[in-house]
Amino acid sequence: MRFLSALPFVALLTGSVLAIDPPTGSKPSEEPYAMNTNVKVTFPDNDSPLGITVVNGKVARINVEITNQEAYPITVQAVGGQLRKHDRSVILRNLTVSKQGTEIPASGTTNVPYSFVPNMHAQDVVLELGVLFSVEKHGKAVQYTAFNSTISVAEPPTSLLDPQILFLYVFILGLVSAGGYVAYQTWVVPMLPKPKRVRPVVPVEAKTTSTDVKTGFDESWIPEHHLKRPAAQKVRSGGTPKPKAK
Q: DSSP letter string over 163-187?
A: HHHHHHHHHHHHHHHHHHHHHIIII
Contact 110, 100 (CB under 8 A): no
First to last CA, the chain: 159
What DSSP state is assigned to residue 189? G
Question: Regarding beta strands 74-84 and 91-94, do their DSSP bridges make them parallel or antiparallel, or are they unpaired?
Answer: antiparallel
User: Is residue 233 very low, low, confident or very high in pLDDT (cuts 50, 70, 90)?
Assistant: low
Question: Regarding beta strands 91-94 and 37-42, do their DSSP bridges make them parallel or antiparallel, or are they unpaired?
Answer: unpaired
Work out the mean pLDDT of the chain and round it to a whole number: 78
Report the predicted TM-score, pTM, of the whole model to 2 decimal places: 0.57
**Residue-level pLDDT at 217:** 59
Q: How many CA atoms lie within 13 A of 230 on its CB side?
A: 3
User: Is residue 17 very low, low, confident or very high in pLDDT (cuts 50, 70, 90)?
Assistant: very low
User: Is residue 177 very low, low, confident or very high in pLDDT (cuts 50, 70, 90)?
Assistant: very high
Determine what percent of the chain is predicted with pLDDT higher than 70.
66
| CB atoms closer than 10 angstroms to residue 119 | 9
Amino acid, single-letter form, for residue 51: G
User: Is residue 191 very low, low, confident or very high in pLDDT (cuts 50, 70, 90)?
Assistant: confident
**Residue-level pLDDT at 49:** 79
- When mean pLDDT is compared over 4-8, 125-129, 220-224, the highest value belongs to 125-129
Q: What domains can you pick out in the chain, each with its CATH number?
A: 7-154 (2.60.40.10)
User: Is residue 188 very low, low, confident or very high in pLDDT (cuts 50, 70, 90)?
Assistant: confident
User: Is residue 145 very low, low, confident or very high in pLDDT (cuts 50, 70, 90)?
Assistant: very high
Mean pLDDT of 129-155: 90
**Residue-level pLDDT at 132:** 93
Strand partners, 140: 27, 135
Instruction: Return the SS3 of 225.
Output: helix
Each residue of 53-106: pLDDT tens digit? 999 999 999 999 999 999 999 999 999 999 999 888 899 999 999 998 999 999
